[in-house]
Amino acid sequence: MADPRPIRIFDTTLRDGEQSPGASMNRTEKLEVAQALEKLGVDVIEAGFPIASPGDFESVRDIAAAITEATVCGLARCNDGDIDRAGEAIRPARRGRIHVFLATSAIHREFKLRMTEEEIVERAVAGVTRARHLCDDIEFSPEDAARTEPDFLCRVVEAAIAAGATTVNIPDTVGYATPQHMHQVIANLRNRVPSIDKAVISVHCHDDLGLAVANSLAAVEAGAGQVECTVNGIGERAGNCALEEVVMALRTRADHYGCSTGIDTRRLVPTSRLVATITGIQVPRNKAIVGRNAFAHESGIHQDGMLKERSTYEIMRPEDVGLEKTDLVLGKHSGRAALADRAKALGYELDAEQLKTVFEQFKVLADRKKEIYDGDIAALCEQRFAALPEQYVFEGYELTSAAGASPTVTLHVRHAGEPKSVTITAGDGPVDAIFLAIEKLTGVTTRCRDFRVQAVTVGKDAQGEVTVELEHEGQVQRGRGVSTDSLEASAKAFLAAVNRLALGPQPRLHPQRP
């Protein structure tokens, strides 16, 4: 059998993924995600859009300085200011890339850019040429390529390669393509652009019709050598091609695609969890590869088949994506070493300080809950260690409540080291009362856009995980809290979001966000 064709994995969780509403990450969190992506084995990390804000610029710079194996990429529109800023941000990188984009479809040319075909080609060439003076590794994207006239797309791509683009990325910006269409777009470029072999063909598909992964795979079949994707498929609108899905499809169906990637697939689940925790965007239970039910067999017929022979109903092994086979139970007599072992097996490498914190919390949890499952340990390990300066720290509450009457709640927090309390009688129920008490105590009034509770593991004493999304003066932030007491988890989640809101809006330009 021929050697598998290597496919580069270009991760844009920190750029396109961060464009999901409410998914913004701070500098520390972005660095943490970038380090996880490097461990996962991605080839390119698109770290951000440096011109968008000073914060985006600093993050790309931090990541460029910290990452040693993957290429670190910064996005730029096709103008001098953007390109120079991106060049400056990636300068510390061992391997850096500037990604220049310019819309090419008739709709974008006419209504957004008001530019002729001639002007587009000229601008693309000028942008790539300028970027090439700053860096040897240049990616060019004709935005909305999937809706661009085939002849014009060939012309722009050829001009970009002649100007020095080393990767040409073909975006389906609005998620309009179908697999056959995408296959044709790539095949057309390969057949009609004489210099196409001088560049790597990449594909960047959005999921508006739920076809992003299928379209990316079709592009690979047609000869694309790079796939752009995000962890958990997060991204603008319906999101992007999901990294874990495209990688596992290429691996599981290597017989069909004849391709390989450099991804350590055992890190898929831990990376997915990290991104879900940091962004607050939860993974649906039935999500392929990383959803909680992805390897759960419920029907008796399936369970029977599985017991006889796993391959009857399983096309991938859970351990290959980082889901441990066992759900070993720990309890109050388990020691620090057993906890560290279990955390490591689940993909969490804690330093001594983090292990100390997690172990203390594990002991508190073991007093509340007889059996501690993998899900509980994951929830403890997923807390953000000093990711944000915590302004308000939850300390406790007392609450009295009866059906049909407003509850009375006394809430205790710590603020700048000082204890603070408030008592109110208000709200539609205990959760509402706690949220109102937090607003009173912090002085931050919010609109709650989303509130979700889910059990981390099984059983009546399972920990509840609460996520909230709050809006305050046009800013949207998310928070997460975990506890065996769902009211405590709610208070922690609400305070986490308020802490983010209290940091104030992070200044950011949205110059024609791609």
Q: Which residues bind Zn ion (CB under 5 A)?
A: 16
* 143 binding partner (options ligand KIV, Zn ion, none; Cβ < 5 to 8 Å by kind): ligand KIV
Contact 166, 136 (CB under 8 A): yes
- The residue (of 205 and 466) whose beta carbon lies closer to Zn ion is 205
- The residue (of 218 and 424) whose beta carbon lies closer to Zn ion is 218
Q: How far is the CB of 198 from Zn ion (least distance, A)?
A: 24
Contact 111, 95 (CB under 8 A): no
Q: Within 430-469, which residues bind ligand KIV (CB under 6 A)?
A: none
- The residue (of 16 and 469) whose beta carbon lies closer to Zn ion is 16
The reply to whether 10 sits near ligand KIV by the rule CB under 6 A is no
**Rg from Cα positions in the chain:** 25
Q: How far is the CB of 279 from Zn ion (least distance, A)?
A: 16
Q: How far is the CB of 236 from ligand KIV (least distance, A)?
A: 7
- The residue (of 100 and 346) whose beta carbon lies closer to Zn ion is 100
**What is the per-residue DSSP string for 157-201?**
HHHHHHHT-SEEEEEETTS---HHHHHHHHHHHHHH-TTGGGSEE
Kindly state the tokens that stand for 247.
């990688």
Q: Which stretch binds ligand KIV (CB under 6 A): 61-69, 168-176, 190-198, 400-408?
A: 168-176
Q: How far is the CB of 16 from Zn ion (least distance, A)?
A: 4
- The residue (of 175 and 407) whose beta carbon lies closer to ligand KIV is 175
Q: Give the side-chain half-sphere CA count within 13 A for 158.
A: 14
- The residue (of 145 and 165) whose beta carbon lies closer to Zn ion is 145
Give 99's strand partners: 75, 139
Q: Within 334-363, which residues bind ligand KIV (CB under 6 A)?
A: none
Q: Site map for ligand KIV, 253-272, x if CB under 6 A?
A: --------------------
Taking the C-alpha atoms of residue 320 and residue 313, their distance in angstroms, rounded to an integer, is 16
**What is the per-residue DSSP string for 239-270?**
-B-BHHHHHHHHHHTHHHH-EE----GGGHHH
Residue of closest CB approach to Zn ion: 16
* 362 binding partner (options Zn ion, ligand KIV, none; Cβ < 5 to 8 Å by kind): none
* 101 binding partner (options ligand KIV, Zn ion, none; Cβ < 5 to 8 Å by kind): ligand KIV
The reply to whether 171 sits near ligand KIV by the rule CB under 6 A is yes
Q: How far is the CB of 514 from ligand KIV (least distance, A)?
A: 3
Q: How far is the CB of 109 from Zn ion (least distance, A)?
A: 18
Taking the C-alpha atoms of residue 346 and residue 273, their distance in angstroms, rounded to an integer, is 11
Taking the C-alpha atoms of residue 306 and residue 286, their distance in angstroms, rounded to an integer, is 19
Helix ranges (H only) for 399-485 are 430-442
Q: How many other CB atoms sit within 10 Å of the CB of residue 88?
A: 16
Q: How far is the CB of 104 from ligand KIV (least distance, A)?
A: 10
Q: How far is the CB of 115 from ligand KIV (least distance, A)?
A: 17
The reply to whether 173 sits near ligand KIV by the rule CB under 6 A is yes
Question: Which letter, b or e, does each residue of 346-375 get, where b requires 16 or more Cβ atoms within 10 Å of its Cβ?
Answer: bbbebeeebbeebbebbeebbeebebbbbb
For ligand KIV, how many residues bind (rule: CB under 6 A)? 10
- The residue (of 104 and 490) whose beta carbon lies closer to Zn ion is 104
Q: For residue 79, what are the contacts with CB-CB under 8 A and spacing of at least 6? A: 127
Q: How far is the CB of 36 from ligand KIV (least distance, A)?
A: 21
Taking the C-alpha atoms of residue 461 and residue 455, their distance in angstroms, rounded to an integer, is 9
- The residue (of 141 and 486) whose beta carbon lies closer to ligand KIV is 141
Q: How far is the CB of 165 from ligand KIV (least distance, A)?
A: 13
Give 425's strand partners: 408
* 97 binding partner (options ligand KIV, Zn ion, none; Cβ < 5 to 8 Å by kind): none
Q: How far is the CB of 497 from Zn ion (least distance, A)?
A: 27
The only residue of 7, 14, 16, 95 in contact with ligand KIV, by rule CB under 6 A: 16
Contact 429, 461 (CB under 8 A): no
Taking the C-alpha atoms of residue 190 and residue 161, their distance in angstroms, rounded to an integer, is 13
Give 227's strand partners: 9, 203
- The residue (of 16 and 374) whose beta carbon lies closer to Zn ion is 16
- The residue (of 42 and 372) whose beta carbon lies closer to Zn ion is 42
The only residue of 24, 59, 71, 141 in contact with ligand KIV, by rule CB under 6 A: 141
Q: For residue 271, what are the contacts with CB-CB under 8 A and spacing of at least 6? A: 36, 37, 39, 40, 231
Q: What element of type H or E holds 215?
A: helix 212-221
Contact 114, 105 (CB under 8 A): no
The only residue of 239, 291, 427, 514 in contact with ligand KIV, by rule CB under 6 A: 514
Q: Within 195-234, which residues bind ligand KIV (CB under 6 A)?
A: 204, 206
Kindly state the tokens that stand for 193.
């652009």
Q: Which stretch binds ligand KIV (CB under 6 A): 126-134, 165-173, 208-216, 414-422?
A: 165-173
- The residue (of 16 and 139) whose beta carbon lies closer to Zn ion is 16
- The residue (of 170 and 476) whose beta carbon lies closer to Zn ion is 170
Q: How far is the CB of 99 from ligand KIV (least distance, A)?
A: 7
Q: Within 81-140, which residues bind ligand KIV (CB under 6 A)?
A: 101
Candidates 2, 4, 3; CA nearest to 260 is: 4
Taking the C-alpha atoms of residue 468 and residue 394, their distance in angstroms, rounded to an integer, is 16
User: Among all chains, which residue has been given the structure tokens 């409540």?
Assistant: 401
- Footprint of ligand KIV on this chain (CB under 6 A)? 16, 101, 141, 143, 169, 171, 173, 204, 206, 514
